[in-house]
Amino acid sequence: MATPLPEERPTLTLVPPVADAPVFKDEPAGPKRLDSVRKVAGHTNRVAQLALLPHTLRGYRELGRRWLTRFRDDYPQLIASTDRAIRDAVGDVHSEAKLKERRAELRDEYRRHRLTFTGKSAGVAGAVAGGVGFGAVTGSLWLDLVAGLGAWGLGAFHGRDRSQPDTDTVLGLPADDTIRGHGSVTLTDLPEGAKPVPIRRAETPQQAAVCVLLAMVAENVPVVEVWDMERQPWGWQCKVRVGENTPEAIIAKAGGLETRFDLPTNGVRPQPMVERRACAILRLVEGNPFATAPGLPYRAPKSISITDKSRLGTSVGGDPLEAALAGVMGLVVAASGGGKTGMLQAIGEVTTACYDNITIDLDPHGDGLEDLYDAVRVTGRSHQQIENVLLFFLMLSKGRARLRAKLGMGKKWKISKEHPHFTVIFDEFPKGSELAKRLAFELLLVGRKEAVTLIIASQGGTKLYLGENIAQMIALKAVGPCKVGDTRAVFGDGAVAEGWLPHKLSPATDTDPKDAGHVFVQGVPGMADEPIEYAIHPTPSDTLRKLAAERRDAGLVEPDQDSLRAMADVDLPDLGTALPRLLTWEQLLRLCDADPAEGAAAEGSARVTVEDAVAVMEKRGVDRMKTEALLLALRDYEGAYDHWTVDGLKTRLKEAGAGAPETLGRLGDEQNPRGYKLAKLTALL
């Protein structure tokens, strides 16, 4: 009996276990047929690419397309167009007969053309086939080889890739995903051989864009794109982009472009875009672009603030010209007939409607704001009046500078009903006296922060007119029809190249207003400084007179007593020349023949005494004085009081409405003397 083997001893056998034996599936012995086909096709394509076979096939396809195009020669299109014209002319016997004759002629010409072209093609094909056949019959290997190479080279040449890589591809940049503008037309869109035509022949925006681009190309303007073409009541408007330099080239070629477009003088009006240096808004003006602009809005008396934006005019693109005139020093320049008075009246119409502004009108030669006279608080025409007014407001601004801290206003004067703004309009500035010009210049330097602004107007903007190179230091500049030198003096030496073109505007004549009242404006608060033309609202004289009377009847704004009292605490400026005596507000009103404030003292010597009493109290910085002390102060102030008595002073002040002296409370060493208080005397003025 055999001894059993231990379980840990492995069994000796030459046959592996079933689990370890490899399992073989039924698979083909060779590679898959589909992979073999793909591999062969890949090798074939690579060989074909190396041999330029795709180029050759593409070349013969291109040659066939050219042959077919020449074979047809646009005759089918012409015949189809004539057929459409015949259908459209149904009912017009004469036109229909002529069109049918034309169609018959086209068909005959097409038939003759096909026969001729087919004959020529057959001749060329026969010559080629004869050469190849001769080589094949004679068995010349070299001739067959040359013919084959020639056929291959001809196809490869005409089938070559003619596309040029763009800049992004050459530089390795990512593809440009930007979208062309609405209705964009570029140089590649221009018809071959097309020539410029007058813009009035364009009927659609696309045709107008092509017309603009053709004219630009003809004038050698480097414009590469035209888009956003729009029909306007006055002409066409679009945007253009130059490929090099700036839109200055359009401005330089404006005259030639006007000829290309068949437009009137100044009919091409480019406006460079601030946000895109290479682009400009181009306006092709055939009519009046401001014909549909809204008129002057009605502003009731004391209905607006000088800090509010108010509409003064309209741009050539239809946008409003709105400005807040608080703290804005201004310069208005326009030649004779340029509408300067209308511009100033538009400003004055706004300032006289404010509840927190006082308008002052100065003009040494003309009639200033003219029809707004009744709404103006102070009007100065003589040199004496103008000099005194400017000195008064220079000192008032100086007093306000010291007063701001006491009133807690901060770094600039806070405008309100109680502390109003002053707008001084100085027309015909070059005709003012030398002292008036100097005082105006000083006021330009310090008045803005104190809410005392000056707007000067002149027929020119150069040093010859203004006396100093101050044009570019003034914030708000409005320039109408003028000389090119004025444009550069006001807007800068490079202004013309940047599109500031007021010198291209035409001043009015006796019978034609032309461009009077049209301006280019810079420095309007809250608006970008863009070289765009505006038209100031024209307002009839009778309308302005009615508005002025209405505002006068509602009561004119008066200065605040805080500012008037602060003037007594400051010294006169040292200008190197003699200055007139600083007047009080009431004295200034009387000098300029202005109406006294409501509730003021009566006219005459009694009023003068009250004014002088107020002046000496303010100068000494006191708010009350004994009657005897007041008389002594008046004697020091004015020699006319040297022979006055205390009783005479009491009588004169009583006539003015001050009444009898009142108790003043403790004053110095005295417990309760009698005299006059500054507040009561000031209230009389």
| Among 156, 124, 56, residue whose Cα is nearest residue 132 | 124
For residue 452, is pLDDT > 50? yes
Asked whether the predicted pLDDT for residue 33 surpasses 50, the reply is yes
CB-CB contact of 476 with 328 (8 Å)? yes
Mean pLDDT score, 621-650 = 86
The least confident of 83-92, 121-130, 296-305, 669-678 is: 83-92
pLDDT in tens, 334-364: 999 998 999 999 999 999 999 999 999 999 9
- The DSSP H or E segment spanning 457 is strand 452-458
Torsion region of 283: left, alpha or beta (phi above 0 gives left; psi -120 to 50 gives alpha) = beta
| pLDDT tens per residue across span 80-97 | 767 766 776 666 667 677
Taking the C-alpha atoms of residue 238 and residue 249, their distance in angstroms, rounded to an integer, is 16
- Percentage helix, strand, coil for the chain under 3-state DSSP, each rounded to 5: 45, 15, 40
Given the structure tokens 């190309």, which residue do they identify? Answer: 217
**Cβ pair 221, 249 in contact under 8 A:** yes
Report the alpha-carbon distance of residue 196 to residue 215 in Å, rounded.
5
- pTM here is 0.63
3-state secondary structure of 419: coil
Q: In the predicted model, what is the mean pLDDT of residues 44-64?
A: 63
- The SS3 assignment for 27 reads coil
| 109 CB-side CA count, 13 A | 13
Using DSSP bridges, classify how beta strands 235-242 and 223-232 pair: parallel, antiparallel or unpaired. Answer: antiparallel
Query: Mean pLDDT over residues 37-65, rounded?
Result: 62
Question: Which has the higher per-residue pLDDT, 274 or 547?
Answer: 547
Number of H helices, E strands in the chain: 21, 18
Q: Which amino acid is at 261?
A: F
pLDDT of residue 98: 78
pLDDT at 50 over 60: no
> What are the pLDDT digits (tens) for 93-114?
676 777 788 888 878 888 888 8
DSSP structure string for 335-403: -TTS-HHHHHHHHHHHHTTBSSEEEEEE-SSS-TTGGGGGG-SEEE-SHHHHHHHHHHHHHHHHHHHHH
User: pLDDT band at 26, cuts 50/70/90?
Assistant: very low
Beta strands in 223-327 (DSSP E): 223-232, 235-242, 268-272, 279-285, 310-315, 320-323
Q: What's the per-residue H, E or C state across 181-207?
A: CCCCEEHHHCCCCCCCCCHHHCCCHHH
For residue 306, report the phi and psi dihedrals to the nearest 5 degrees: -65, -15
Alpha-carbon torsion 543, 546, 552, 554, what sign? negative
What pLDDT sits at residue 570? 84
For residues 282 and 5, which has the higher predicted lDDT (pLDDT)? 282
Q: Is the pLDDT of residue 174 over 50?
A: no
- Which percentage of the chain shows pLDDT scores above 90? 25
- Per-residue confidence (pLDDT) for residue 418, from 0 to 100: 92
Topology of domain 310-567, CATH: Rossmann fold (3.40.50)
Q: What is the mean pLDDT of the chain?
A: 81
Residue-level pLDDT at 497: 81
Residue 303: pLDDT band (50, 70, 90) is: very high
CA distances from 113 to 119, 263, 314 (A): 10, 44, 62
What integer is the mean pLDDT of 589-593? 89
User: What's the pLDDT score for residue 405?
Assistant: 86
- Which secondary structure element, helix H or strand E, spans residue 477, and what is its range? strand 476-479
**What is the DSSP code string of 97-165?**
HHHHHHHHHHHHHHHHHHHHHHHHHHHHHHHHHHHHHHHHHHT-HHHHHHHHHHHHHHHHHHTS--PPP
CA 372: distance to chain centroid?
30
Check residue 362 and give its pLDDT: 94
Tell me the mean pLDDT in the region 195-201.
85
CB atoms within 10 A of CB 184: 16
Question: 332 falls in which pLDDT band (50, 70, 90)?
Answer: very high
**pLDDT tens track for 201-220:** 888 888 888 888 888 888 88
- pLDDT for 44: 58
CA separation for the pair 524, 476 (Å, rounded): 6
Q: What is residue 549's predicted lDDT score, i.e. its pLDDT?
A: 94
The highest-level CATH class for domain 185-285 is alpha beta
* Statement: residue 270 has pLDDT above 60: yes
Nearest to 54 by CA among 158, 165, 164, 163: 158
Mean pLDDT in residue range 488-513? 86
Instruction: Name which residue leads in pLDDT, 128 or 511.
Output: 511
Nearest by Cα to 294 from 542, 537, 546, 514 = 537
| Six-digit token string for 75 | 């005759």
Give the C-alpha distances (Å, rounded to integers) separating 407 from 117, 400, 411.
Answer: 100, 10, 11
Tell how far CA 474 is from the center of its chain: 19
Mean per-residue pLDDT, 158-166: 53
With cut-offs at 50, 70 and 90, classify the pLDDT of residue 165.
Answer: very low
Is the pLDDT higher at 556 or at 467?
556
* Residues whose CB is less than 8 angstroms from the CB of residue 492 and which lie 6 or more positions away in sequence, other chains included: 472
pLDDT at 25: 46
H/E segment holding residue 649:
helix 646-655
pLDDT at 142: 62
